[in-house]
Amino acid sequence: MRQTKKNSKEVYHSRVYTDRPAYADFDAPGKFQAIQSIIARRLKEHPNAICSYSGGSDSDIMLDLIERTRKAFGLPEVKYCFFNTGLEMKAIKEHVRDVADKYGVEITEYRPKKNIVQSTREYGIPFISKIVSSAMETVQRKELPFSIKEEYDNAEDKAAKRAELRERYPKSEQGINFICCCNRDGEPRPNIQLVINSSKYLYEFMVENPCDFKISAKCCDYCKKQVAHKVQAEYEMIITGERRDEGGMRSVPKSEDANGTMCFSETSSGQFRLKPLYYVSDADKAWYKERYGLKYSDAYEVYGLKRTGCCGCSISATAVEDLEKIRPYEPNIVKAAWNIFGDSYKYRQRYNDFKKMKQAEEKRGGQISIFDFPEVLP
């Protein structure tokens, strides 16, 4: 995340950039060679390792890299796991089996105790991002009024106002900071991902269009994170395919990274976390796929998706578009996704329309015209 002071040429970078290793700027052949060296070193130090495999393109490259490295350096086997949320495309499940056969490895499938239908019904469905969803869950659960933003913005002593809001709405830190665009000390933080202003016009939209369904990102916690933590507990090192270029929370430094680097760190539990693809770009991936002749799942190769994950997850800006690509091949899962996330899809479309209206209004100096919206013309 970059921030620039107003009327200043000085640019500030987060640790994602300031702690950037030299190999992050290598061309693809050199970068992957460096990554193989990192994988080899860490597997020698921590041979009791488990790797999360999702069946997506990042996972395909990661597994191929690990297996090539293992064989080249004579390293022990890595445990692979696939977390099935209960809403997985047939194309992904078949690909997981095909990859296991291709490399001669075992990819163990795990399912959550509380599946995606149960967790979304109980807690709510995602909207825009995990950050927004988590904050909005607090806002809704604690019944925080959006008007606290105006209170904070108009306060001369913002630290005192923030302290007063904390007393008025106890155990609501995340929600207050999100709405007021500040930190817990009352300092303004208008340009970070953790606040409502990071999504343009979202505050205005939600004030004018109150949400009538529960928002939450807990489905990810129950369907993936909790299952993963339980499965990974007995291993010394956890390997995941996170990439900075995916954006969102994956581009935000975590507290555990302070004990290492962005791609290798020690967790609070004493385990080690390796993210070998962290500085791999989309162009690097394309080079690797062609160089080693990888075949992604049919979700990519046939359906035409650019990325996978939880099928139809409403965090994705292209969820509805992607579901239409899937529909000719797997109509039942498309129906299931709409039944689970439909309210969020519709609300996001209203938000997108609202943004277009506001942008058109700004363009015309505060005046809007029906001709800015040809879709409504006869």
258 confidence band (pLDDT: 50, 70, 90):
very low
Q: What is the pTM of this model?
A: 0.82
For the chain, the three-class secondary structure string (H helix, E strand, C coil) is CEEECCCCCCEEECHHHHCCCHHHHCCHHHHHHHHHHHHHHHHHHCCCEEEECCCCHHHHHHHHHHHHHHHHHCCCCCEEEEECCCCCCHHHHHHHHHHHHHHCCCEEEECCCCCHHHHHHHHCECECEHHHHHHHHHHHHCCCCCCHHHHHHHCCCHHHHHHHHHHHCCCCHHHHHHHHCECCCCCECCCCCCCHHHCCCHHHHHHHCCCCCCECCHHHHHHHHHHHHHHHCCCCEEECCCCHHHCHHHHCCCHHHHHCCCCEEECCCCCEEECCCCCCCHHHHHHHHHHHCCCCCHHHHCCCCCCCCCCCCCCCCCHHHHHHHHCCCCHHHHHHHHHHHHHHHHHHHHHHHHHHHHHHHHHCCCCCCHHHCHHHCC
Percent of the chain with pLDDT over 70: 87
Residue 190: per-residue pLDDT = 84
pLDDT in tens, 221-246: 998 899 999 999 999 999 999 998 76
pLDDT in tens, 193-221: 899 999 999 999 999 999 999 999 999 89
What is the average pLDDT score of the chain? 89
Residue 250: per-residue pLDDT = 46
